[in-house]
Amino acid sequence: MYKPNGKQANMQKFTIGYFCLRAGFIRFALASLFMFHFSLASASVMEEGEFYKEKQELIVLKQDLNEFYNKKETKYFEHKKELENILAKIELTKKDIEDIKKENQKIKDEITRVVVDRTITMYDKMKVKVVLDIFNTMVTNGRINEVFDIIVRLKQKRVLELLKKFDVPTKTLIMTKMKDYKFKQETSEGKK
């Protein structure tokens, strides 16, 4: 009797498996074809009234969906308009705040100007020795810029009296600042 070797036996098993698989596929295809044919036959038996009923249900469903969509769209536009109104109010309020800030700044500047004017007038009326003591204390505390700001606004005669009585390092600082101040004024006038 003939016995196939290992490779031939595997090939034989593969061929038998292939035919079994092919036979199973053919059965499945025939069963599917039969079921499809049966469902077509039953659909053709369905009466015209049932199609009409389904069509009407679809129309009602479509109307409901359109109605739902229209309501949502209306709500969306209402909310959008509300948000736009709120945004407009915010912008208006922002503008009002900016106007108030500008007005407050003008008032603050006016108050500062009045205070400075009165301070300058007060320093002009004080005795030179008292003003000199105040300025020396300010310079000692590192407030030379404030002293300079006041001196620049004093009358020239008063400035000369004060400069004569300052010590040499303070005179030097103030004179240097005066030169820089004069240079900046000339430069800014030249630009205009």
- Digit-coded pLDDT (tens) for 2-43: 455 555 555 554 455 555 555 556 666 666 666 666 565 555
Same domain, 113 and 142: no
Same domain, 121 and 135: no
Contacts of 167 (CB under 8 A, 6+ apart): 136
Whole-Å CA distances, 147 to 116, 141, 170: 12, 11, 10
Whether the model pTM is above 0.85: no
| CA 114 to chain centroid | 41
Query: Could you list the residue range(s) of the whole structural domain that residue 157 is in?
Result: 127-192
Torsion over CA: 90, 91, 92, 97 (sign): positive
Domain count, the chain: 2
DSSP one-letter code for 73: H
Separation between Cα atoms, residue 132 and residue 126, nearest integer Å: 10
Question: How many residues in the chain?
Answer: 192
Same domain, 120 and 134: no
Q: What is the pLDDT of residues 140-186, one digit of tens each?
A: 888 888 888 888 888 888 888 888 888 888 888 888 888 887 777 77
Asked whether residue 29 is domain-assigned, the answer is: no
Contact 118, 126 (CB under 8 A): no
Burial class (CB in 10 A: 0-12, 13-18, 19+), 148: buried
